[in-house]
Amino acid sequence: MSDRLAEYRGRRDLDASGEPGGRARGARGGPRFVIQKHAASTLHYDLRLEVGGTLRSWAVPKGPSTDPRERRLAIQTEDHPLEYADFEGVIPEGHYGAGAVIVWDAGALENRSRHDGAEISLEDALERGHATVWLEGEKISGGYSLTRMRRSDSGDQWLLAKVDDERADARRNPVSTQQESVLSGRRVEDLEPGDR
């Protein structure tokens, strides 16, 4: 169990919220990413990247763009357990992050980070404040960069940008045109309290 999940557990009553506790690890292939659409008090998209046994997480208010010119603010939040990548449901009123969560996109994650011309681990890249990943989701794919702009007690501020590669497409806008969960086909509006 990782200390990196202490903040996650400290914020939550996991029995009441129905969210995973981070104790089980199933059979897995390579690293994964997930983007969860979260209708909390403020709607946002939670980008989570599997790094070293937990999901590094950022809240992206506008969601990811497929247009390299559109950089999106991404506020780093506490690491989440790996099983959180499959979580859909409604976090009850009165609990941290109350509101509906769906798995908006998910897929394989490949580190493409470099420093001074050499490959570096994703963990090192994030520590240094600039990482590049290749995502293979159903809606989001290709290269994305994360660059830390400002450290903050309420969550470091990063910019999420599409790399200008063959998967870039300024005409697509999947945040508005593809709103359904890739797991269940549901939209956040479809979920009701008690749903899983």
Q: Which residues of the shown chain bind Mn ion in the complex (CB under 5 A)?
A: 38, 46
Q: How far is the CB of 163 from Mn ion (least distance, A)?
A: 25
Pick from 89, 96, 85: nearest CA to 10: 96
Cβ neighbours for 153, distance < 8 A, ≥ 6 positions apart: none
| Choice between 4 and 38, CB closer to Mn ion | 38
For residues 88 and 43, what is the distance between their CA atoms, to the nearest angstrom?
15
Q: How far is the CB of 32 from Mn ion (least distance, A)?
A: 18
Q: How far is the CB of 100 from Mn ion (least distance, A)?
A: 11
Nearest residue to Mn ion, by Cβ distance, number only: 38
| Choice between 91 and 131, CB closer to Mn ion | 91
| Choice between 38 and 162, CB closer to Mn ion | 38
Distance from chain centroid for Cα 69: 21
Q: How far is the CB of 42 from Mn ion (least distance, A)?
A: 9
| Choice between 78 and 113, CB closer to Mn ion | 78
Angle at 84 between CA 43 and CA 76, to 5 degrees: 55
Strands (E), 40-129: 43-51, 54-60, 72-80, 89-91, 99-111, 114-115, 118-119
